[in-house]
Structure 1
């Protein structure tokens, strides 16, 4: 017998469902609470098979409606099922249930390392491939990972070490100084307001995720903070959440940080270190920079769903391929 439900973070069914499926830190209820908005998860169960998808509900201005969006990161659907028929039924239930709750659309960022069948996703909505992300296989030896690193990166990592740059882990007394560095980096690169996470956000991130979040800080020989890598490690999967270096000469501290973090992860028993991709999934300079650390590649998709077609028509008109594949939802 099938059952579809919307869960709140304090609902025991959220944690119980995660105990039955492979998942990541992005699927944890405590992570969902970090983002502004009303945190929920869609759960679908059928004959011992389950699916869970975390979401944030946002009010649609000047209406009593909402739309749904993934929390920041890669909190795409996770499941212990493999049958495409299961996912077809789950996504129909997803659309029906959200529609009854006044949700017009859903925008979902899929997890590159925890894929689900794509055909049912495309049948229920619009699946957009943005590009590739980069990952490092931490089951390799240190020598194998080093040999997969591009020669220019290896040279600069060695230069950083010869210059006396060191990396320390989980020295949270350096957290505030690194946060200042992060904000300065966002100003330097002209980042949008979305990426200017507040100091309370960073503090809540650490206190909420506890041993699932770590800080690697690169120090000059005199003890100055040159940069840092804030990363997640959970269930064998690691992600760089945010990395930043200060203005000026950082003596290749950025590349040394990635090298030291992957060594930390391998020693801690993690199996994969996900670096992410370029801006918006593009094969840009940021992607090429990450790609020089490893040949590991995965596709990155987003999924766009109209859950209430009548309400959507009133807000944005008849859906077109351009509207469904571009900025979504278009009424935002």
Structure 2
């Protein structure tokens, strides 16, 4: 991609992408090349925007997509916790040159709007993006502080969670496995979960997705399985992803017949004990559906009250074109908070 912007480079190849991640040093699996390849839709191109000036480095991973049949584009982020990465930046960072050059890049590429989810565990993302669009707090995610000893962590568990963990550990066994047979069992449990909650079609990941994910060398994936001792059948499984000092609770599934045991609790418990022993710092359980404080959030908060703020970044690069596209394509009332509005249906 040729550019006239002095300090901006666009990276699309895996080796260069990883080289930049190595330079910024601190990142999450949501920022990796492989996760972007797994997450992109057919009409989306993963790009990593690199800005460098006098030892300051910024990496901004995004998904570039054409806006319907127009000449314009917009960018979004992968599902999860992404946002900018950096080296040699603190809270006092003067982002004026970065903003100027990023704007010039967006205009040259006819990018109309930008949306990105941010990462609660990456410091100074707001310093990089400040004064550029809106940084909006959506809700909270639940983190287990792995820098505490395991007994201190457990001391804040709710009575219900402690009771179910004790019962689950008596009735079940836990193992880590990436065998083809166990992954196949995990996928079936995951699909059963999606059926139960009437999930949208795009949540039914293919077997190829799981295979690529688990075998990626960009991050480490642990698959934990809970086996019911009496029948020796797998009744619950979870996929946890480790990158640097962060553990992310990614996806899970439980057999309908064993929901009353909530065996996912013992898998979370096992992961936090294991990760603590390996000196990880954060174990992110995520938030509620749509960042709301719903029953899912309350379940997760039964493990910890260490809440982190989850924010998103919304930026209209070209207001005139944005308004034209909204008038032409939007099918929802303008009162919706969907962004960008021209894609609201």
| Shift in Å, 1:200 | 1.7
- How many angstroms apart in 1 are the aligned matches of 2:110 and 2:255? 45
1:287 maps to which residue? 297
**Is the counterpart of residue 239 in structure 1 residue 248 in structure 2?**
yes
What secondary structure, in the 3-state scheme, does the structure 2 residue paired with 1:76 have? coil
Superposition CA RMSD, Å: 2.2
Instruction: Pick the aligned partner of 1:223 from 207, 224, 232.
Output: 232
- How many angstroms apart in 2 are the aligned matches of 1:234 and 1:142? 20
String of CA shifts for 1:196-245, please: whole Å, max 9, x gaps: 22222112212224761110111111221111110111101100111221
Instruction: Pick the aligned partner of 2:126 from 112, 118, 122.
Output: 118
- How many angstroms apart in 2 are the aligned matches of 1:51 and 1:211? 21
Q: What TM-score do the two structures reach when normalised by structure 1?
A: 0.91
2:98 maps to which residue? 90
1:249 maps to which residue? 258
String of CA shifts for 1:160-208, please: whole Å, max 9, x gaps: 1122x11111242311111111111111112222322222211221222
- How many angstroms apart in 2 are the aligned matches of 1:11 and 1:167? 36
1:30 maps to which residue? 34
Q: What aligned pairs does 1:34-45 form with structure 2 within 5 A after superposition?
A: 34-36=38-40, 37-45=44-52
- Over 3 Å counting, the alpha-carbon distance change for 1:76 and 1:210 in structure 2 is closer
Aligned length: 327
What secondary structure, in the 3-state scheme, does the structure 1 residue paired with 2:48 have? strand
Deviates more, 1:42-51 or 1:26-35: 26-35
What secondary structure, in the 3-state scheme, does the structure 1 residue paired with 2:205 have? coil
Greater than 6 Å deviation, 4+ residue runs = none
1:169 maps to which residue? 176
- Over 3 Å counting, the alpha-carbon distance change for 1:92 and 1:291 in structure 2 is farther
1:15 maps to which residue? 18
**Preserved CA contact (<8 Å) 1:133 1:300:** yes
Q: What TM-score do the two structures reach when normalised by structure 2?
A: 0.88
- How many angstroms apart in 1 are the aligned matches of 2:93 and 2:197? 45
**Preserved CA contact (<8 Å) 2:84 2:128:** no
**Is the counterpart of residue 330 in structure 1 residue 334 in structure 2?**
no
Deviates more, 1:55-64 or 1:131-140: 55-64
**Preserved CA contact (<8 Å) 1:166 1:219:** yes
Deviates more, 1:217-226 or 1:309-318: 309-318
- Over 3 Å counting, the alpha-carbon distance change for 1:248 and 1:227 in structure 2 is same
- How many angstroms apart in 1 are the aligned matches of 2:67 and 2:207? 27
**Is the counterpart of residue 193 in structure 1 residue 196 in structure 2?**
no
**Is the counterpart of residue 142 in structure 1 residue 146 in structure 2?**
no
- How many angstroms apart in 1 are the aligned matches of 2:284 and 2:151? 19
| Shift in Å, 1:85 | 4.7
What secondary structure, in the 3-state scheme, does the structure 1 residue paired with 2:166 have? helix
- How many angstroms apart in 1 are the aligned matches of 2:219 and 2:19? 20
**Preserved CA contact (<8 Å) 2:177 2:224:** yes
String of CA shifts for 1:50-88, please: whole Å, max 9, x gaps: 111111112211223221111121111111212555334
Q: Which runs of 5+ in 2 are unaligned?
A: none
